[in-house]
């Protein structure tokens, strides 16, 4: 896809805005520097500004809103969807969100605060309280009238919850089925009752994966068995994108940036990486100490040093493959912590098989180029390292989940460091045994 950017000249900018959809405008604004973003947003027509604002990343929404004149800021904030506002307020300091809350009307403030009282990672935070519900005893004709009257404030009208008294959820009804039914038919005859329902306290990622796996466009949210909101597919996919971005960052031993890369200052990039890099440096010092302990052995058999990069490289890659596979399996619930023994056995078998295959090739090659005894050392070490790396890479993420830590933290970099150290110990111990050093 071609890079999207906006022209700086006023006339060209007006023409670009007229022919460019809101998603492309938002993407261009997300990528540019804060000053340019604010200047460009000021030039957006009022009708386009609200839509573009809703598509910006929350941190960029805050930057833009705080730079707007008070009157325009109030209009933009009040026009936002409650769930979008809740996401915005959660991404800024309390002092800033307090100022923005003061800009809202009493009704909009109440709907936003109702979402903010739920914990940050819960379904209650991303649900929309603006939905259109239908009654069981409504006729099709009355339901269509209700849709015409309330569709402007509803998050969606294509799939609507059906309730009885006290907002007790009965099921869901899609617009197509309603339109095709006889005018005097009852909603009770058309409603689908076997629909997935989530609680306000359910984890956002679990809900998002439920919707993706079940191809669900809308999921109702209940609290104490009362319908309080709905979650739409687009909001669920935003959650998945964010969660997968976090996991991807942590598998590379870095903290999530929380905003588009080009909008992140250099010092923030450093802060996101330096802690994990320092921890890995400390862990890597173990490898140096292992080499120091076996320094005498290396001096008497210098050829052993030639294979160190090969052994730790294969071990690290094997562990990283295993860790990445299990982190992903945990994320999509293919694997549960209770499956730790099954996972360990499967990965140990996989690592052992790969180790035997690689060791067979190494045994023949090293015997031909160097010495048969050295070839045995390398081959045995390869089998042990692949087995150990696969085992460590599979078990560490599961133990992290049991401890309440993001499994992605204990993925490739940490596994590689551990396998490097233990692999060298195995290598030197095998060499001492086989070569008699």
- pLDDT tens-digit map of 319-357: 888 888 888 788 777 888 889 999 999 999 999 999 999
**Same domain, yes or no, for 203 and 315?**
no
Q: Which residues of 12-21 are buried (b: 16+ CB within 10 A; e: fewer)?
A: eeeebbeeee
**Same domain, yes or no, for 211 and 325?**
no
311 in Cβ contact with 347 (< 8 Å): no
**Same domain, yes or no, for 49 and 162?**
no
243 within some domain: no
249 within some domain: no
Going by C-beta distance under 8 Å and a sequence separation of 6 or more, which residues neighbour residue 183?
Answer: 139, 140, 141
Residue 291: which domain range?
265-435
What does the pLDDT average to over 387-409? 84
Of all residues in the chain, what percent carry a pLDDT higher than 90?
27
pLDDT digit string (tens) for 407-431?
Answer: 776 666 677 778 888 888 888 888 8
Q: 42-51, 67-76, 188-197: which has the minimum mean pLDDT?
A: 42-51
The C-alpha angle 272, 278, 282, rounded to 5 degrees, equals 155
Of 180 and 13, which is predicted with more confidence?
180
CATH code of the domain containing 66 = 1.25.60.10
**Same domain, yes or no, for 281 and 352?**
yes
pLDDT-based confidence at 3, cuts 50/70/90?
Answer: very low
DSSP, collapsed to helix, strand or coil, labels residue 226 as: strand
Of 173, 171, 215, 221, which Cα lies nearest the Cα of 195?
A: 171
122 within some domain: no
Q: What pLDDT was estimated at residue 2?
A: 44
**Same domain, yes or no, for 100 and 202?**
no
Pick the last residue of a domain from 236, 253, 274.
236
- Flag whether pLDDT at 246 surpasses 90: no
| DSSP code string of 79-142 | HS-HHHHHHHHHTS-HHHHHHHHHTS-HHHHHHHHHHHTS-TTBHHHH-BS----EETT-BHHH
Pick the last residue of a domain from 55, 86, 117.
117
- Rounded Cα distance between 109 and 71, Å, is 17
- Rounded Cα distance between 393 and 327, Å, is 9
- Flag whether pLDDT at 240 surpasses 90: no
- Rounded Cα distance between 381 and 375, Å, is 10
User: Residue 146: exposed, middle, or buried by beta-carbon count in 10 A (0-12, 13-18, 19+)?
Assistant: middle
Tokens 């460590």, residue located: 392
- Flag whether pLDDT at 253 surpasses 60: no
5 within some domain: no
The DSSP code for 44 is S
189 in Cβ contact with 155 (< 8 Å): no
**Same domain, yes or no, for 168 and 36?**
no
Name the token pair of 179: 């339109």
424 in Cβ contact with 289 (< 8 Å): no
20 within some domain: yes
260 within some domain: no
227 in Cβ contact with 167 (< 8 Å): yes
Pick the last residue of a domain from 61, 91, 117.
117
Give strand pairing partners of 166. Answer: none
CATH code of the domain containing 387 = 1.10.357.20
112 within some domain: yes
CATH code of the domain containing 171 = 3.10.580.10
| Domains contained in the chain, number | 3
**Same domain, yes or no, for 111 and 143?**
no
**Same domain, yes or no, for 194 and 108?**
no
- Rounded Cα distance between 74 and 68, Å, is 9
**Same domain, yes or no, for 142 and 214?**
yes
Q: What pLDDT was estimated at residue 31?
A: 80
- Rounded Cα distance between 107 and 101, Å, is 11
**Same domain, yes or no, for 113 and 138?**
no
- Rounded Cα distance between 81 and 55, Å, is 11
- Rounded Cα distance between 411 and 433, Å, is 32
Of 165, 144, 418, which Cα lies nearest the Cα of 279?
A: 418
**Same domain, yes or no, for 166 and 72?**
no
Selection from 15-29, 320-334, 380-394 with the highest mean pLDDT: 380-394
Q: What pLDDT was estimated at residue 434?
A: 86
DSSP, collapsed to helix, strand or coil, labels residue 398 as: helix
- Flag whether pLDDT at 238 surpasses 90: no
**Same domain, yes or no, for 152 and 196?**
yes
The C-alpha angle 182, 187, 189, rounded to 5 degrees, equals 80
pLDDT digit string (tens) for 134-173?
Answer: 999 899 999 999 999 888 778 888 899 999 988 999 999 9
71 within some domain: yes
């Amino acid at each position: 896809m071609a890079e999207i950017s906006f022209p700086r000249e006023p006339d060209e900018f007006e023409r670009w805005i007229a022919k460019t959809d809101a998603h492309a405008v938002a993407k261009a604004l997300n990528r540019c520097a804060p000053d340019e973003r604010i200047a460009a947003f000021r030039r957006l027509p009022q009708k386009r500004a609200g839509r573009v604002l809703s598509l910006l990343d929350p941190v960029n929404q805050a930057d833009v809103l705080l730079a707007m004149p008070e009157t325009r800021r109030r209009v933009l904030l009040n026009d936002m969807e409650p769930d979008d506002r809740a996401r915005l307020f959660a991404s800024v300091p309390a002092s800033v969100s307090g100022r923005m809350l003061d800009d809202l009307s009493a009704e909009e403030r109440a709907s936003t605060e109702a979402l903010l009282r739920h914990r940050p990672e819960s379904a209650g935070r991303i649900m929309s309280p603006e939905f259109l519900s239908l009654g069981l005893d409504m006729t099709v004709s009355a339901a269509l009238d209700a849709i015409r009257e309330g569709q402007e404030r509803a998050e969606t009208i294509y799939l609507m919850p059906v309730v009885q008294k006290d907002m007790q959820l009965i099921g869901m009804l899609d617009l197509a089925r309603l339109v095709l039914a006889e005018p005097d038919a009852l909603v009770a005859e058309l409603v689908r009752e076997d629909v997935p329902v989530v609680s306000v306290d359910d984890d956002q990622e679990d809900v998002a994966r439920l919707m993706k796996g079940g191809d669900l466009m809308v999921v109702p949210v209940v609290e104490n068995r009362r319908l309080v909101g709905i979650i739409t597919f687009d909001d669920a996919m935003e959650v998945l994108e964010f969660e997968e971005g976090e996991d991807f960052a942590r598998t590379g031993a870095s903290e999530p940036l929380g905003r588009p890369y080009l909008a992140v200052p250099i010092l923030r990039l450093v802060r996101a990486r330096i802690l994990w890099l320092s921890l890995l440096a400390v862990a890597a010092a173990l490898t140096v100490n292992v080499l120091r302990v076996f320094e005498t052995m290396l001096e008497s058999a210098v050829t052993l040093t030639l294979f160190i990069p090969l052994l730790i490289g294969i071990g690290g890659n094997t562990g990283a493959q295993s860790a990445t596979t299990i982190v992903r399996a945990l994320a999509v619930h293919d694997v549960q912590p209770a499956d730790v023994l099954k996972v360990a056995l499967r990965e140990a078998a996989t690592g052992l098989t790969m180790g035997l295959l690689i060791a067979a090739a190494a045994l023949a090659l090293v015997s031909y180029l160097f010495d048969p005894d050295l070839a045995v050392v390398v081959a045995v070490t390869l089998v042990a390292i692949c087995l150990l790396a696969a085992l460590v890479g599979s078990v560490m993420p599961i133990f992290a989940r049991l401890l309440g830590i993001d499994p992605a933290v204990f993925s490739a970099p940490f596994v590689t460091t551990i396998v490097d150290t233990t692999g060298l110990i195995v290598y030197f111990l095998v060499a001492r045994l086989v070569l008699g050093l």
